Amino acid sequence: MSDAGLLIGWNRVAPGRDAMAVELWAEMLAYLMKLHGEGQVEKFEPVLLGAHGGALNGFVLVRGTQAQIDRLRNSDDFLVFNVRANKALDGFTVVRAHYGEQAAKILRLYSTV
């Protein structure tokens, strides 16, 4: 059961990098589908946000166990993806996400500190 995740987000395509961003999007989805098919992540969900005036216009939420997420985040393939995404996307970010018992643990810690 997943209790960890990654939010891979972006603001917008960097000027002049449209083709690179479209290629990167396709490669990222294929990569995540492969990881899912191999059982290396539990699931992933791409999300595009409607206009809201903020600096986050889309993200992919990847879910898995803490060990799966750690392996993904530290893999050479993911590190290369990060470098390429930083070249193609303004506001690119990767943020750890917590679910279930991990989220409950953090909330318990928050209430005691």
Say if residue 83 is exposed, middle or buried (CB neighbours under 10 Å; 0-12, 13-18, 19+).
Answer: exposed
Both tokens assigned to 112: 């005691």
pLDDT in tens, 29-56: 999 999 999 999 999 999 999 999 899 9
Q: What is the CATH number of the domain that holds 102?
A: 3.30.70.100
pLDDT in tens, 80-109: 999 999 999 999 999 999 988 889 999 999
Domain count, the chain: 1
Q: In the block, which residue shows the tokens 């590190």?
A: 79
Query: pLDDT at position 2, please?
Result: 81
51 secondary structure, DSSP code: P
Q: Which domain holds residue 98?
A: 4-112
Which is higher by pLDDT, 69 or 3?
A: 69
CB atoms within 10 A of CB 73: 15
pTM: 0.89
